[in-house]
Structure 1
Amino acid sequence: MRVLQIMAGAERGGAEKFFDRLVSALAQRGLDQHVVCRSFPNRLNHLKNHHVPYTIASFHQLLDFRTRRLIQKRIRLYEPDIVLTWMSRASHLCPAGDFTFVARLGGYYDLKYYKKADYLIGNTPDIQKYFIRQGWPEDKTAYLPNFVDHPCPGQPQDRSVYATPEKAPLLLSMGRFHDDKAFDILIPALAHLPGVYLWLAGEGERERRLRYLAHEYSVNDRVRFIKWQKNVSALYKSADVYVCPSRVEPLGNVVIEAWAHEIPVVAAASDGPKGLIQDQENGLLVPLNNVEALARAIKKVLGSSPLRKKLVEQGLSTYLKDYTEEKACQHYLSFFEQITPKRRCS
């Protein structure tokens, strides 16, 4: 079986990180793959290290005729059984042909860009239900879960590097500094948590605004802005609670990563975390955009050793049951075997 994967995404992001993990994991299991992607050095080195051949494309815009021709040529030369596209631009630029065309979506996107696809993959059950509500045939959809890497070996991040007291309660939150991530809710919540520190890892257009908020709420002495990290295990291992305050979060890979690293999770009840977390069992859920509720939940976890123990144990159990590399790869390979000879009827 030959699978051509077309990734039109950015250098960083949740879908992009999962793409990198999936391609290398499938390569380790012997799947014949070729990748079409942008020329980001880290991604190209990752593909080289896992002996996955690639073709570089620009993906400048939807009417990128050069990229369209390049994809057509690669399909002609590689003769894939399956083409798996990532992002609407890749799906729009991919032609129909003598292969099974699969589009993978990690959110509730307009399906007009995916009309040529034979199948749609959603990475949550609710996204799969969205496809069906939009009129896509149920038997041409699939829910295939993400997985996260096992925690990397090594020690926790030395707190002194980020001027954080060794015994201070420490929160961790990560993501692009964008309104969807609701760090503008988490920072004010810290004002209700005296003595608690926050490591905020990421980059983005809202960083200046978030730094201003930290000053405005007089918590700037307890907030540490940390740049994107390639290896986040050390950060997880240093933290006492992972907080996902997102107001828009279709999945929430960070929740699964926190479970794998055995730290308790507090999350706002956006679509992804709400689908992952059983409240009071493997995490705590709070209403969206609610500073006080978020602070109360964090305080509850920090103040109760039995609750922390329960959330950690149940979170790890959920990860091992549903979100390991082995489980996810089994799902993908089984799905590929099932769909290779099929097409969606028009």
Structure 2
Amino acid sequence: MRVAHVMAGAVQGGAEGFFERLVLAQHRAGLDVLAVIRREPGRAARLEAGGVAPLQLGFGGPLDWLTAGRLRRALLGFRPQVVVAWMNRAAGFARAATRPGDGWAMAGRLGGAYALRHYGACDLLAANTQGLCDWIASQGWPADRVRLMPNFAADLAGAPPATLPFPPGAVPLLAMGRLHPNKDFATLLRAVARLPAEVHLALAGEGPERGALEALAGELGLGGRVAFLGWRQDVGALLAASRMLVVPSRIEPLGNVVLEGFSANRPVVATAADGPREVMRDGETGRLVPIGDHAALAEAIGQLLADPAMADRLAAAGRAGFIARHAEAPALAAWAAFLDEAAARREAA
């Protein structure tokens, strides 16, 4: 199979991280992969380190007259069987770079409720939750042309722990993600303020809310109990160093970070946003609490800190589910079937 993946996303993000994992995993599995990315040195270096030399293009705004032509020339030279467009901007440029009779199938990969007008040229859509599949069909997209394609995470169990900037005896919690209102780390800070003084929070991520969150931590008297770590690539090490993972998001279509917590055999406490609610079962594979409720969040965290046996049981169940549904092998098999179907649909058209 010859597949071209086109990603015009941000420097950091859940979809962007999964794009890298999937491209490299498919390359290792023997697929002939072309990765086309928006210019970003870090992503390019990570892909190159894994054996995939990406094509970097501008993917600019309405006045970018160059990217579509350059993308078309790359696709004509590579001759993929399937082109996978990741999110709206990539879908628009991939459509502009394609002509009738080119021979490749078009597929769109969605990780949220995106505007479907960008995907009109696609033979199939891949969505990473059943809820999103249902939403796509409710918008008029043919239900027989959308497939549930769960994300996978790296197996992070057994990673050596990172060193966190906390004093001896601290009980470290971990949260990860873009510092944006959708992630609602403000509610998590308010929850931490209700917990005993030995409970500390490592917050790995960067974004426009950092200044406001640092100010809120000061107002709550958290002082040295919160460490803003910035973006980190050593996710397994951070999880290994932490007592549990906390995901306080208001909007979370899937939550790759939840899968990483499962993978690392850590208990997960999350709000009942769409994604966590789909991949977690409250009291069985983790704890789910109402969105925006810092008291409920603090209570769930405190319960697991006070009951290590329960925390271990939830972590073990989460990891078992990860191995069955969200590890690399089953996800790669599902993607292979998806690509075969997309190519077959185009050939039959």
- In the TM superposition, what whole-angstrom CA distance separates every residue of 1:169-198 from its partner, at most 9, and x where no partner exists? 211001110000000100011111022111
Match of 2:240 among 237, 241, 247: 237
Deviation at residue 153 of structure 1 after TM alignment:
5.5
Partner of 1:117: 122
8 A contact 2:44–2:53 mirrored in 1:
no
Letter in 2 for 1:206: E
Q: Is residue 338 of structure 2 the alignment partner of residue 340 of structure 1? A: no
Deviation at residue 113 of structure 1 after TM alignment:
1.2
Deviation at residue 338 of structure 1 after TM alignment:
2.1
Match of 1:258 among 258, 261, 265: 261
SS in 1 for 2:160: coil
Letter in 2 for 1:11: V
Q: Distance in 2 between matches of 1:69 and 1:253?
A: 33
Q: Aligned pair in 2 of structure 1 residues 198, 133: CA closer, same or farther (>3 Å)?
A: same
SS in 2 for 1:312: helix
Letter in 2 for 1:231: D
8 A contact 1:119–1:344 mirrored in 2:
no
Deviation at residue 263 of structure 1 after TM alignment:
1.0
Match of 1:309 among 312, 319, 322: 312
Q: Is residue 205 of structure 2 the alignment partner of residue 207 of structure 1? A: no
Alignment of 1:3-42 (within 5 A): 3-42=3-42
- Unmatched segments (≥5 aa) in structure 2: none
Q: Distance in 1 between matches of 2:220 and 2:83?
A: 50
SS in 1 for 2:83: strand
- In the TM superposition, what whole-angstrom CA distance separates every residue of 1:41-73 from its partner, at most 9, and x where no partner exists? 222222323332432210111452211111121
Partner of 1:2: 2
SS in 2 for 1:65: coil
Q: Is residue 310 of structure 2 the alignment partner of residue 279 of structure 1? A: no
Q: Aligned pair in 2 of structure 1 residues 278, 152: CA closer, same or farther (>3 Å)?
A: closer
Q: Aligned pair in 2 of structure 1 residues 53, 222: CA closer, same or farther (>3 Å)?
A: closer
8 A contact 1:38–1:58 mirrored in 2:
yes
Q: Distance in 2 between matches of 1:226 and 1:55?
A: 31
8 A contact 2:106–2:342 mirrored in 1:
no
Partner of 1:181: 183
Deviation at residue 39 of structure 1 after TM alignment:
2.3
8 A contact 1:121–1:143 mirrored in 2:
yes
8 A contact 1:173–1:244 mirrored in 2:
yes
8 A contact 2:87–2:114 mirrored in 1:
no
Letter in 2 for 1:119: L
Q: Distance in 2 between matches of 1:227 and 1:344?
A: 47
Partner of 1:156: 161
Q: Distance in 2 between matches of 1:189 and 1:90?
A: 38
Give aligned pairs, total. Answer: 343
Q: Distance in 1 between matches of 2:160 and 2:47?
A: 27
8 A contact 2:83–2:104 mirrored in 1:
yes
TM-score, scaled relative to structure 1: 0.95
SS in 2 for 1:188: helix
Q: Distance in 2 between matches of 1:52 and 1:115?
A: 29
Partner of 2:83: 83
Q: Is residue 112 of structure 2 the alignment partner of residue 134 of structure 1? A: no
Deviation at residue 132 of structure 1 after TM alignment:
0.6
Q: Is residue 225 of structure 2 the alignment partner of residue 222 of structure 1? A: yes
- Unmatched segments (≥5 aa) in structure 1: none
Q: Aligned pair in 2 of structure 1 residues 59, 152: CA closer, same or farther (>3 Å)?
A: farther
- In the TM superposition, what whole-angstrom CA distance separates every residue of 1:138-179 from its partner, at most 9, and x where no partner exists? 1111111111111175521223xx1x1333221100111000
8 A contact 2:157–2:263 mirrored in 1:
no
- In the TM superposition, what whole-angstrom CA distance separates every residue of 1:223-251 from its partner, at most 9, and x where no partner exists? 11112111111110111111000000000
C-alpha RMSD of matched pairs (Å): 1.7
Q: Distance in 2 between matches of 1:302 and 1:312?
A: 13
Q: Distance in 2 between matches of 1:27 and 1:288?
A: 39
Letter in 1 for 2:5: Q
Match of 1:166 among 157, 168, 175: 168
Match of 1:192 among 191, 194, 215: 194
Deviation at residue 118 of structure 1 after TM alignment:
1.3
Percent of matched pairs sharing the same residue = 37
Partner of 2:61: 61
Q: Distance in 2 between matches of 1:318 and 1:110?
A: 31
